Amino acid sequence: MSRLKDSAIQRFGQLAGSGDEDLARPALLIPLLEFPSLDAGPYLARLDAMGLEAVTRLASRGLDPRTASAHALVEELNRYLFEEQGFSGNREQYDDPRNSFLNEVLDRRTGIPITLALVYLEIARRAGVRIVGVNFPGHFLLRSPSRHAAAGFREDLIFDPFHGGALLSESDCRRLLQKHIGDEAAFDPTLLAPATKPQILTRMLLNLKRIYVRMRSFPQARDVTELLLAVDPPALTELRDRGLLAYHLKDFSAALRDLQHYLQLASSEPADSEGTTDHDQIWEHVKTLRRRVAALN
């Protein structure tokens, strides 16, 4: 049984799939996992106020988002958010679930790369500054696109919200890739492509699910799969994981339903790079679940 209300899950899916760039509203539904009575209104108002303050700061320095250089705009937003407002990466408690909740990030002024990036994106959007997210492997980044489309990525600013908005060169990005996946040679400019709204929200949720599973907080992890499926209903991995988490929680009927459905859908999927699938293991779970459910009837 989900701890989240069906209405919240449905609303999250609607907001995640909407065509606008508003990340804050869907992101403020995620903390309902831990704060079921959370009122998003004050946090949205705080973002609005910070956006207005950013507009004032830019204007006071003669920076028009339509004409000023990307470097000058990013430098000023960095100064405002990281120096004056005090936002910083939470290095000491990186896997604290609170780092994935926008309300907590705004209250505590600390978070992980993707939630700090979300704050930055929301403030920049309100200030009229074009910034996009970058779904870089292992470490979410931000990018200020060049006004000269033909110039490509090399003319853009890539920067790291977890480290105070530090600018990154292509060499820096290669080293970052080496750190997280162990293969600098795998770097490709497409890794710096703009992330879509669903991709950003999905990455936030996958981070949170990993943390909850590691903590063995299976009810919360199961609810995260509900939100992931609201973003991407055909996601087979999330259907499987929701079933496995239901199994852990001894919700055998729900586990059987999800895992049987997973097997039906996965049977038409290609095998992985080693020529195998998890079909056999899941099938063993299904047989066990069928016996358990039958015994309950």
Could you tell me if 102 and 115 are in contact, meaning their C-beta atoms sit under 8 angstroms apart?
A: yes
Residue-level pLDDT at 153: 45
Q: What is the dihedral of CA 163, 104, 4, 212, to 10 degrees?
A: 50
Confidence bin at 107 (pLDDT 50/70/90): very high
Q: How confident is the model at residue 71 (pLDDT cuts 50, 70, 90)?
A: very high
152: left (phi over 0), alpha (psi -120 to 50) or beta: left
**This model's pTM is above 0.75:** yes
**What 3-state DSSP class applies to 272?**
coil
- Tell me what pLDDT residue 166 has: 96
What pLDDT score does 271 carry? 54
- Split at pLDDT 50, 70, 90, the class of 145 is confident
Residue 254 has pLDDT above 50, yes or no: yes
Report the chain's mean pLDDT, rounded to a whole number.
92
Q: How far, in Å, CA of 117 to CA of 133, rounded?
A: 7
